């Protein structure tokens, strides 16, 4: 049985005071909800807030994650942060290959770079949340499954997956991120099942223990339908993770699908 993970990606939002308030609000809102045992919850603040948000999370089962890292261990890489530096903050997770990093900002990261980042994260003891997903043009051209196969295969070159924390996947159709347009539960299930099948070919039976999150305009009202899909094991949540009420409702809706 895969324990769902609900991870909030704050992106470049909130200031430190608001980030702390958000954590306090989520902790209060979850109360005695079965976080940690039935559903795992994580927040991914901007890198500069990892240490103070780690403090704000002390005593709770909510995990900390980074939004990115650089693959080199050290050196002349002005502005970058290594995997070891991220791990020092107490983070368990790091997002890798978010579509905004692949397509919009930063280095316009390619699959080779993401492969190196995955390895660096693993070496530092972090659990990578690898994002994959097609653009709207690729979906219209019926290339979705091929794109997912390519992105997954390229990211895993020389990377062994032997335990469930070696890899978390996030299927994030680019056209659904921050747009309010959510994949249908059937579209999500098709993509997730495809990813799990390809992962089984690449890594063996461990694929059945690897969590595959859905990301793209998840809101409290559409959570249940998506989370009920057999190959959906949680969510990567952007906009709706920025308010305690909506993030907590997504978590409790996920809990409710577990019966």
Q: Cβ closer to ligand PEP: 56 or 250?
A: 250
For residues 23 to 62, the per-residue mask of contacts with ligand PEP, x marking binding by CB under 6 A and - elsewhere, is ----------------------------------------
Residue of minimal CB distance from ligand PEP? 238
Tell whether residue 94 is a contact of ligand PEP (CB under 6 A).
Answer: no
Tell whether residue 178 is a contact of ligand PEP (CB under 6 A).
Answer: yes
Structural element, H or E, at residue 257: helix 244-257
Tell whether residue 126 is a contact of ligand PEP (CB under 6 A).
Answer: no
> What string of DSSP letters covers 60-86?
SS-EEEES--BSSSSSS-TT--BHHHH
Q: Cβ closer to ligand PEP: 46 or 215?
A: 215
Beta carbons of 66 and 91 less than 8 angstroms apart: yes
What would the two tokens of residue 21 be?
């308030």
Tell whether residue 187 is a contact of ligand PEP (CB under 6 A).
Answer: no
Angle between helices 144-155 and 111-123 (to 10 degrees): 50
Tell whether residue 106 is a contact of ligand PEP (CB under 6 A).
Answer: no
Tell whether residue 133 is a contact of ligand PEP (CB under 6 A).
Answer: no
Residue with tokens 């308030």: 21
> Minimum distance between the CB of residue 35 and ligand PEP, rounded to whole angstroms?
20
Q: Quick one: 108 exposed, middle or buried, by C-beta within 10 A (0-12, 13-18, 19+)?
A: exposed
Give the total residue count for the chain: 259
Tell whether residue 239 is a contact of ligand PEP (CB under 6 A).
Answer: yes
Q: Cβ closer to ligand PEP: 92 or 200?
A: 92
Q: Which residue among the candidates 172, 190, 192, 194 is catalytic per the annotation?
A: 172
> Minimum distance between the CB of residue 99 and ligand PEP, rounded to whole angstroms?
7
The widest CA-to-CA distance across the chain, in whole angstroms, is: 51
Pairing of strands 5-9, 40-44: parallel
Considering only 26, 62, 152, 236, the residue that binds ligand PEP (CB under 6 A) is: 236
Closest CA to 233 of 216, 204, 257, 203: 257
Tell whether residue 9 is a contact of ligand PEP (CB under 6 A).
Answer: yes
Residue 206 and residue 53: Cα distance in Å, rounded?
32
Q: Site residues (CB under 6 A) for ligand PEP?
A: 9, 11, 98, 172, 177-178, 215-218, 236-240
Q: Which residues are catalytic?
A: 98, 172
């Amino acid at each position: 049985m895969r324990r769902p993970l609900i991870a909030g990606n704050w992106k470049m939002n909130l200031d430190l005071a608001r980030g702390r308030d958000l954590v306090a609000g989520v902790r209060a809102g979850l109360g005695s909800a079965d976080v940690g045992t039935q559903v795992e919850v994580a927040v991914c603040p901007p890198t500069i807030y990892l240490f103070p948000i780690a403090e704000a999370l002390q005593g709770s089962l909510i995990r900390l994650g980074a939004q990115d890292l650089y693959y080199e261990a050290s050196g002349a890489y002005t502005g970058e942060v290594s995997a070891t530096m991220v791990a020092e903050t107490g983070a368990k997770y790091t997002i890798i290959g978010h579509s905004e990093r692949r397509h919009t900002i930063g280095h316009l990261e390619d699959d080779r770079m993401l492969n190196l980042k995955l390895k660096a994260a693993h070496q530092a003891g972090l659990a990578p949340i690898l994002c994959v997903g097609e653009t709207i043009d690729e979906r219209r051209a019926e290339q979705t499954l091929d794109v997912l196969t390519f992105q997954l295969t390229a990211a895993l070159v020389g990377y062994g997956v032997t335990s469930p924390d070696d890899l978390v996947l996030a299927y994030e159709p680019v056209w659904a991120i921050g747009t309010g347009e959510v994949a249908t539960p059937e579209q999500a299930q098709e993509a997730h099942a495809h990813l799990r099948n390809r992962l089984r070919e690449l890594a063996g039976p461990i694929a059945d223990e690897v969590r595959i999150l859905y990301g793209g305009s998840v809101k409290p009202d559409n959570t249940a339908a998506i989370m009920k899909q057999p190959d959906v094991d949680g969510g990567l949540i952007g906009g709706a993770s920025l308010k305690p009420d909506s993030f907590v409702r997504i978590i409790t809706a996920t809990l409710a699908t577990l019966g």
